[in-house]
Chain A
C-alpha cells in the first residue's frame, strides 16, 4: 500500500518537474501567460476591495462578461469529452489519444468556469455556504445548485479518467476496463448534463422571455459541439507542431544506415531475457517459441544508429532487450516522436503484420540490444491470446495525431454548425414573425431598440463569422487543414459572441419593467477575464506538457532512475538533444 502511494507520488513529482522544463519558446509562452494571470489577479484584488462596482454591471444588467464566458466554456468542456464517443462506441483507433487531449481540455475549461463563477460572486468569502453538510444547498429547487454539483462532479470525473489512463501508460500497464470504461460512459452522459443544466439556468426564468424558450438547451449543445471540437482541432495541431522537430528524421545520421555491429543468430536465452520484461511471452508454448527463432537475429547498436527507416519495405518486427529506441515519424517536412520503446517493448510490428512500408524511423537512443523476428515468427507468437492482446494494445499506444483524426473532428464540427445555424434561424423566426411584446430583447440584439444599438454590430459579426465558417466547413475546401483552421477560428469567435454576450445581455435588456440600460465591461473586468483565460491556457499547456511525453513513452516507470536526462523526458527530439 505504501509503495503504491510512493509510486504515485514519484509519478506526480516527475510530471510536475516536466512542467518546468522546456526550450526558450516554452519559457516565453509560459512567462507571458503567467504575466497575464498576475495582471488578472491584480484586477481581481481591486474588485475585492471596491466591489463589483468596478465592473460594468448594474441592477439592470446584473450579469456580464463573467457569466458570458462561463456559459461559453461550459460548452467547451462538455464538447471536449464528447470526442470519447467515436473512440469507445465506434472503436475508432485514430482518435484514441485525442480523447486524453480532449479530457484534459475539459479539465482546463471547467477550472476556468469555476474561476469565472467565483469572480462573479459578491461574497466569495462565503463560498462554503454552498457546501452541503456545513452550508445550505437549495437542492433540487435551484438550478445553480445543480450546476455546482454537475460542474464539480465533471471535474472530478475527468481528472480521474485522465489521471488513471496516463498513470497506466506511465507504468506501461494496460488500463483495466473496469476502472475506467464505466466512468467514461458516465462522463459522456455527464457532459450533456453540464450543458443542459447550464442552459436551464436561463431557461428556468419565467420572467425573462428571451431565455424562457425550450430551444435554448438544444442551441447550447449544438454550439458547444461546434466550438469545442474546433478548439481541439487547433490545439492538437499546436501539440503536433511543438512535439515535432524541424529536421527530417535521421537527418544527422544519414551515413549510419544499417550500421549494425555483427548481427548474430538469436537463441532461446534471448527470448528468456525478453520474457523477463514481457511476462506475456511465457504464455507461448516452448515449441512455438523455438519455432519463432527461425530467422531471428539479435542486433547490438550504438546510440544514434538507425534500426529501420520510414518508407523502407522490409518486414521484420523488433523487441527491445536492453537500451531504448525512439520511433519518429516524418510528415510534411517535420519529425514527430510517436513513441519511445524500452526493454520489452516492440517496434516495427505494423509493417510486419500488414506488409505495408515502414511508417516511422527507429533510432537507438543509447547503447541498445534488440531482437529482430520475422513477420511469420511474430504471427506465430501472437497465436497466444495474451501475446496477441499485448502486441495489439501497444500498437494503439502510439502518439499519433493523424490528419484523418482531425478530419473526423471536422465532421463533428460540420454537422453541429449546420444544426446550430438552423436552430438560430428557428429562434429568429419565432421572435420576429409572431411579433408579440416579448420581441423587445431580440430587437435589441438584432436591430437595436429605441436608439440603443450596442449589441447589433456584435451579433451580425457573429452571424457573418458563423455563416462563413459553415460554408467553409460544408465545402470540400476545408478538407485541407489550412481552410479547416480558418473555419475553426471563425466559428469559435462567432459562437463566443453569439452564445456569450449575445445570449446573456439581451436577457437583461430591456429590464422586466421596460427600461433599457446598456452594459459595457469595464477595463478591470476585462483584465480579470484575460487573467482567467491565461490561467486556463497555462493549465492546458502544463497538462499537455506532462501528457505528451507519457503518451510517447518517454516518461515512464522504467526510466525512473534515469531522471537526470530531462531532455529525454520532456520529448525534445533526439536531434536537438544530441546536436
Chain B
C-alpha cells in the first residue's frame, strides 16, 4: 500500500502573520466601503427627533399630549417659515354630516378652485401638489378616458366641452381607509376622511385603492414660500406635512369645522360649488339633493357611496 503524503507542515509563523494581515486589511477595507456607502446620510436634514419618533397615534393622545404636540408643531413651523401659526385640534360637530354638490352646468374650468386650495391648505409648491383635478370632457360623455387633464386654451369655457373638477369624494365606504395597514386614515363622524400625518408610514396602498385619484404623496420634501404660509391650521387638516406621507382634500377642516365654507367654494366665480350639512333639511345641499332630478355620484358602481354629488341645471 502507498502511504499517504504527509500534510503540509504546520502553518509557519510567517504564513500566519500574512494571513492575519490579509484578514485585517479585508476588515478595514470592508468597513471603509460600508462607511462610504452610508455617507449620503450626512445630508439628512431635519432628522426625526425622539419626541416625533415616539409620538403616539392621534386617537391615543391625551389632551395634555395634544397640547405638547401642538406646541412642538407651532415651534417647528415658526423655525422653518418664520411665522407663528395657530394650530387647532378641531373635532367634528354633533349632528353634522358634510356633503358637497357641484353644478356641472355652471363650472367653466377656470381652475381657480385648484389654486385657492393650494394656498389655503399649505400644499407643496415644489414639487407641486394639488388636491383638485379639473377634467375637460366632450359633451355627452362621462367616459373619463376621454378626459383632458392638461387643457390650456386662451380662455375657458370652450365650446363642445364641459368641465368636471374631481377631489376627494369623502366616500361613505372609503376604500382608502379599509386598506391602510396602520389606521393612519379614518372617517370622522362628520363624514370627512382625515389622515394623521404623524402616523402614516407612506406605503401608498391608499393611493392605489382610491378610485378617484384623490390622494397625494410627498415624494420629496415639500416646499412652501415663507410668505405664502396660511397660519390658520388644523392638526388633521392643513398643517405642513413632512416628506414621505400621504395627504388629500379634507373639506378644509380648519374652516368648515368652525362654520366657514371650503376655500374652493368661496373662490368659485360662477357659484358651481355648494357645501353644507345634509342632516339639516334646510341646508342648500339638502335642497339640491331633494329637488334636482339628475345628480351623479362618480363611479357609483364601485359602491364607495361618495358624499360628493355632481348635478346639472338643465
Interface residues of A (CB under 8 A from B): 34-35, 38-39, 41-42, 45-46, 48-53, 55, 57-60, 62-63, 117, 120-127, 129-130, 135-138, 141-145, 148, 201, 204-208, 253, 255-256, 259-261, 302-305, 437, 440, 507-508, 510-515, 578
Contacts and interface: CB of A to CB of B under 8 A. Distances in A.
A141 B178 contact: yes
Given A129-B201, A207-B299, A62 B208 contact: yes
Interface residues of B, number: 67
A144 B181 contact: yes
29 contacts: A35-B33, A38-B33, A41-B37, A42-B40, A45-B39, A48-B41, A51-B244, A55-B219, A59-B207, A120-B204, A121-B203, A122-B243, A122-B244, A122-B245, A123-B202, A126-B202, A129-B182, A136-B182, A136-B183, A142-B205, A144-B205, A204-B179, A206-B175, A259-B2, A302-B3, A303-B4, A514-B135, A578-B5, A578-B7
B288 to A, nearest CB: 24
Contacts of A117: 203
A511 B154 CA distance: 27
Contacts, number: 202
Given A129-B201, A144-B203, A207 B183 contact: no
B184 A510 contact: no
A207 to B, nearest CB: 3
B7 A143 contact: no
Contact of A145 (B175, B181, B303): B181
Contacts of B34: 38, 41
B212 interface: yes
Contacts of B217: 52, 59, 62, 122
Majority DSSP secondary structure for residues of B touching A? loop
B151 interface: no
A101 B215 CA distance: 44
A551 B42 CA distance: 46
B30 A45 contact: no
The 6 closest A-B pairs by CB, nearest first: A122-B202, A207-B211, A259-B1, A122-B244, A53-B220, A304-B4
B58 to A, nearest CB: 10
Contact of B244 (A52, A145, A302): A52
A341 to B, nearest CB: 18
Contact of A437 (B145, B147, B183, B202): B145
A304 B145 CA distance: 77
Contact of A206 (B3, B44, B302): B302
B117 interface: no
A126 B180 contact: no
Contacts of B147: 513-515
Given A253-B2, A259-B2, A42 B182 contact: no
B88 to A, nearest CB: 24
B152 interface: no
